[in-house]
Each structure stands twice: as C-alpha cells, then as structure tokens.
Amino acid sequence: MKRAFVYGSNRYNGLVMAVPDSMEDFVKEISEKFQLQAENITLTTSNGCEICDVRLIRDDDKIFVSTEAQNASNDSETLGKSLETLALDEVEKPPVSDWITLNVGGKHFTTSRSTLQAKEPLSMLARMFTNDDKGYLMNPSVVDNTGAYLIDRSPQYFEPILNYLRHGVVILDKHVNPKGVLEEALFYGIDSMIPQLQQLIEQADSRPGSDSQALTRMDVVRSLIATPTASELRYQGVNLSGADLNRLDLRNINFKYANLSGCNLSGCNLSHCWLERADLSHANLEAATLLGVKALCANMEGANLKGCNMEDPAGFRAIMEGVNLKGANLEGSNMAGVNLRVATLKNANLQNCDLRTAVLAGADLECCDLSGSDLHEANLRGANLKDAAFELMLTPLHMSQTIR
C-alpha cells in the first residue's frame, strides 16, 4: 500500500498516512486526523495542483490540506506566499556536509560528496547530494536514528560500486557475483561501470565449469550418507575446488576429471579412488591414505602430500604415472611400490620417503630433494636426476637402477 506525507495549515505538523483505495475514504481519514469538515477539504500537491483521485498519488508524495474557508480568503498575495512556503518546504533540508553516511541494507558506508559526484554526476547518488540549480537535484532519502541516509538495496553489491566511484576500477571479491553488481550499477545509474561488469560476466560464463557452483563439505557428506556402501559414487568432472573434506572416508569414489584444486583432503581415506586427470593443484592431502589410488596424469602441482601412505598390504600399487607433482611436498610419505613412471617431480620435496621398489623410470626429478629416502630396488632408469639431492641415503644407489 502507498503512503503519503500529509501536511495541514502548519507545514511542520505533517503526518505519514496510508493511502486507501478511494478518495472518499482518504478525505474522511484526513478530516478525522486534522479535525476538519470533510466537505470543505481540498488536497493539493507540492506544486499547487488539486488532487481529485488517489490513483494520482505516488508513494511518499507530499500532500497539503486546505479548507474552503482558507481558499476563499486567498488573494494573489496569499497565494504567492503559499507557493513560497511550498518552495521552502521543498528546498529546506538538513544541511549536507562534505562527509556523508549511507545506510545501505543495514550496513553503514561513509564517503565524501565529491566521491559520489565527480565520476558520475548524473547518477542517482550524485543527484541525491547535489544542491545546485542544474535541474537534476534529487531529494535525499529519509535518515535513520544515526543520521545516515537509508537506501534499501544490497550492501554486498553496493561496496564494489562505492569503491569504483573512489578509484575508477572494478574490483570484485571472488564470492561477489558480477551479475548482482551489474543490477545495482543499473539501478544507481553508474553507466561507466556497466561495460566493465559485462566483460567480467562474459569471462565468467566462458570459463570451463563456470556453470556449476563448487560443492561444499555438506553436499559431499549428504551424498555419502545417501549412497549404499556397495554402490559406486561418482564425482566425475564435478567442481569441488576449495572444499573442506578433511578426515572423510572417500574410498572407491570416481573423481576422474574432477576439480579438487585447493581442496582440504588432509587425513582423508582416498584408497582405490579414481583420480585420473583430476586437478588437485595446491590441495592439502597431508596424512591422507592413498592405497591403490589411480591418479594417471593427475595435476598435483604444489600439493601437500606430507606423511601420506600409499603402500597397500594387499599388493595393489598406487598408479600415479604421468602425474604432475612439480613443487609438491611428499616428505615422510610411504610410497613403496608406487608407479611414478614419467611423472614430473621437479623441485618436489621427497625427503625421508619410503620409495622401495617404486617405479620412477623416465620421471623428471630435477632439483628434487631425495635426502634420507629409501630407494631400495627403485627403478630410476631414464629419470632426469639433474641437481637432485641424494644425501644420507638409506641404501646405496646402483647404476643398474639409473641406466637403461
């Protein structure tokens, strides 16, 4: 329902009133509030036009009440004074200081008038606080109990707009949807910001996997509970980037081509999982169990696999052939029998690892630190050992292990 600000003969004795559906009901309510005779009441707008239908009243309009007796005594001088009073009512506002506080959706933002006006002088925000005679002056909104101007919009999307007005660059946090910011920019009339936001939206839409939001820990837990242990659980190609999945039992799950970048998998049981060509870059797999895991050509660049266990007592070897472990940390891991043929381990940390009977043929071990590791019967034929560290080896490294 619409509301209106109704003023009597004294322009300071106004009331906020709900506007009913009929003019008769509205006049009746006004007569009761101001103790006037309904048949003598005339309603006018702030520019002196008489209101004959409530449908002409807009939300938050200012309406002035006069009686028939007052109208009869009005001569040209009185009418001029009335119009002057109405003009004063429009112009007289609380003085706007150089610093302005906005209450946007319950969150306060403090900024300067110049910030709101300089870059987009025709925007809604600029017009709210411009007090010149250029024709685009807008009334500031009502204020809260702290004096901040109330704006009923999203504070999450308003913050990037205010920052743009400050320095002219669109900067969005990763959790802020550019489509939401675009809607707010259109609402406030920040025209110069719109092309940049549209470009960000196009880039996001064209990015692989952008149509699927990353699943959370709760999503995974729910699917684990709902899936019988005898059934195969498939997360093939699913986006789980950044999810916190630590200490979950994820055995026998199909993660082929899945996005697990930056995922927290510390302490997880990933035994016999399919990780073929999955993205585990910079993921945390510290102390994870990887018995019999199949990670052919997976991307584990920069991942933390410190203290992992890959040795299966049943004899199933972890298959990590062609995996990218560049710069990864595998310190203290049990990797006995693991297949790392033609894998990339450049700059990886393999200190104090158990690599007995491991297959490292053709692997790139350049600048890899294997100090203190057990390489008994490991296959290093054709491996790139340039600048690799072999200090404090538990067993001597034989030529037969490194030469084809």
Residue ranges of domains in the chain: 3-91, 99-206, 213-404
For the ranges 11-25, 191-205, 243-257, the maximum mean pLDDT occurs at: 243-257
For the ranges 6-20, 132-146, 199-213, 268-282, the maximum mean pLDDT occurs at: 268-282
Residue identified by tokens 């302490």 is 267
List pLDDT tens digits, range 241-257. Answer: 999 999 999 999 999 99
pLDDT value at 225 more than 70: yes
pLDDT value at 2 more than 80: no
pLDDT value at 121 more than 90: no
pLDDT value at 136 more than 50: no
Q: Where are the alpha helices (DSSP H) in 92-130?
A: 113-118, 124-128
* Topology, domain 213-404: Pectate Lyase C-like (2.160.20)
Confidence of residue 7 (pLDDT cuts 50, 70, 90): confident
- The residue that leads in pLDDT, 51 or 320, is 320
Dist CA 219 CA 183 (whole Å) = 30
> What average pLDDT does this structure show over 366-371?
93
Dihedrals φ, ψ of 350, to 5°?
-120, 35
Question: In terms of CATH, what superfamily is 99-206?
Answer: Potassium Channel Kv1.1; Chain A (3.30.710.10)
Q: Answer whether 89's CB lies under 8 Å from 32's CB.
A: no
What is residue 300's predicted lDDT score, i.e. its pLDDT? Answer: 96
270 Cβ contact list (under 8 Å, min separation 6)? 250, 251, 253, 285, 288, 289, 290, 293
Q: Where are the alpha helices (DSSP H) in 140-283?
A: 155-167, 178-188, 194-206, 217-226
**What are the Cα distances from residue 77, in Å, to 42, 146, 362, 401?**
20, 41, 102, 111
- Reported as type and span, the H/E element at residue 41 is strand 41-44
- Which of the following CATH numbers is that of domain 3-91: 3.10.20.10, 3.20.20.210, 1.10.10.10, 3.30.450.40? 3.10.20.10
Residue identified by tokens 């699913």 is 238
> What average pLDDT does this structure show over 283-308?
95
- Reported as type and span, the H/E element at residue 330 is none
- Reported as type and span, the H/E element at residue 173 is none
pLDDT value at 9 more than 70: no
Confidence of residue 55 (pLDDT cuts 50, 70, 90): confident
List pLDDT tens digits, range 326-340. Answer: 999 999 999 999 999
